[in-house]
A and B are shown apart, each in its own frame.
Chain A
């Protein structure tokens, strides 16, 4: 479904990605872990072209997407993204946030979009908060609206960029539950997270990225139980403690 081949990215003097290669088959939930500054967020942004890779190729559903002929807007409709800081549109209600994409990008009818948005909000357990503005919602509720907003575009895959790290502990559970349900339904997902419980229960594979390269990948039991690389072992021991 998503294939990343030899992707490089530099920001000025910073060489953030140094040739990343990854493959995520349809229906798989891949979890990316790694120290901060290792390039995880940049990798996600390279996949939906919020950041343009300097070199290498990104394939989505077999289409080579980082070519001038492919419009970035089309790519972004194929993969939804959920941000660490939610980024709900502050001037729109929860319902309007979810409706915006279908109406403006896909040209869907207002009424149809409203029905769909309500279904999605119900699915993330927020049917009652449809008319609330982001500032009136808790962090966990905002993040669930953000997930519904991404799902409203009927994406083929979802990218999660540390979706729980800006949340108070009591709200983390509700967001992870929504994500777990999504994975069980067979959504293709790439999740950057430090939630090890989620990673070992839901992920089919874990990738450890350090300093812009894939250092190790494998089944959760292997990465957490018996890491091969020294760097992985140190990192895992830190976050599992």
Chain B
């Protein structure tokens, strides 16, 4: 992997599911198993301890479902917003570009945790009466997290748009394509492909950032695991090494989710890859 990037050339055009990617996935699984074995040995715990899992299984599964629910809400909103904000950011109309630049600066300058905490505290008081409910603060915080990620994605899409060579647009115009047609058929396909790898990274960050919602009482894997941790610490005589099991399991869940996300996007990128352009990197 490292050598491939070092020489700046891929070995050959990989198929849709290449041998290399299968090997990489296998490597990752073996690595994860090895790492857990080493951790068990160094920290003296047993990951499959049935005494813990008898109390932890329910919160564990509920938490995974909860986290996936938040991801399913936040991810599409953020990608859609990020795309259009990125588009507006490169507009030659300053009416579009400047407000978006301010938006991006704000959301990139403030920690997501601050945004989450205060969106849940302030947000509900801004909403009309009929929307009020017990979970409103949480929903608004989740949306605020989407807005936050959208600011980062806007920058990714903007970079994608800008890396499409200017001559491409000129050639499209010279053929008589209208501005929107040139965007749709020439600029977008190229910008989209260039944006995919960094987008994969950002979506992985977004998945990890959903754990922040636990700070305001969300029912997710991190929050529920923290509850179990409190139980264990305040129950006299319980084996505190069980905390290692909990956090190793939680780390593994997040790792699988982020790994799946980056792998899917890498797969998408290969799907839309153009022959002869493999060495071109963003």
Contact = CB atoms under 8 A, between A and B. Distances in A.
- Are A and B in contact, CB atoms below 8 Å, in the complex? yes
Interface of A: 48, 50, 72-77, 80-81, 83, 85-91, 100-101, 104-105, 132-136, 146, 149-150, 153
A134 B168 contact: no
Given A90-B165, A150-B175, 12 more contacts: A74-B176, A76-B176, A80-B174, A87-B170, A87-B171, A91-B190, A100-B177, A104-B177, A105-B177, A105-B181, A133-B274, A134-B276
Interface in B172-211: 172-178, 181, 185-186, 189-190, 193
A158 B135 CA distance: 65
A62 to B, nearest CB: 19
Nearest to A76: B176
A135 B177 contact: no
Given A73-B177, A76-B174, A91-B190, A104 B185 contact: yes
B279 to A, nearest CB: 9
A50 B170 contact: yes
A77 B173 CA distance: 10
Which of A83, A89, A101, A105 has the largest number of chain B CB atoms within 10 A?
A89
A73 B189 CA distance: 21
Contacts of B275: 132-133, 135-136
A71 to B, nearest CB: 9
B274 A90 contact: yes
B175 A91 contact: no
B159 to A, nearest CB: 17
Which of A48, A81, A91, A135 has the largest number of chain B CB atoms within 10 A?
A91
Contact of A100 (B165, B167, B185): B185
A75 B173 CA distance: 10
Nearest to B184: A104
B48 interface: no
B170 A89 contact: no
Given A83-B170, A87-B167, A105-B181, A153 B176 contact: yes
A114 B153 CA distance: 37
Contacts of A149: 175
Nearest to A75: B176
Nearest to B193: A91
Nearest to B185: A104
Interface of B: 165, 167-168, 170-178, 181, 185-186, 189-190, 193, 274-277
A92 to B, nearest CB: 8
A85 B274 CA distance: 19
B168 A133 contact: no
A50 B167 CA distance: 11
B277 A90 contact: yes
Contacts of A146: 171
A74 B276 CA distance: 34
Nearest to B188: A91
9 smallest beta-carbon distances between A and B, as pairs = A135-B276, A87-B171, A87-B167, A76-B176, A81-B174, A101-B175, A77-B176, A136-B276, A105-B176
22 contacts: A48-B174, A50-B170, A50-B174, A74-B176, A76-B173, A76-B176, A80-B174, A85-B167, A89-B172, A90-B168, A90-B277, A104-B177, A104-B181, A104-B185, A105-B176, A105-B181, A132-B275, A133-B275, A133-B277, A134-B276, A135-B277, A136-B276
Contacts of B174: 48, 50, 76, 80-81, 83, 150
Contact of A105 (B170, B171, B175, B277): B175
Contacts of B170: 50, 83, 87
A104 B183 CA distance: 12
Contacts of A86: 167
B169 to A, nearest CB: 9
Given A89-B186, A91-B190, A100-B185, A50 B173 contact: yes
Given A73-B176, A80-B174, A133 B167 contact: no
B176 A101 contact: yes
Contacts of A72: 173
A40 B273 CA distance: 37
Contacts of B173: 50, 72, 76
B9 to A, nearest CB: 13
B175 A76 contact: yes
Nearest to B172: A89
A87 B176 contact: no
A135 B280 CA distance: 10
B176 to A, nearest CB: 4
Nearest to A82: B174
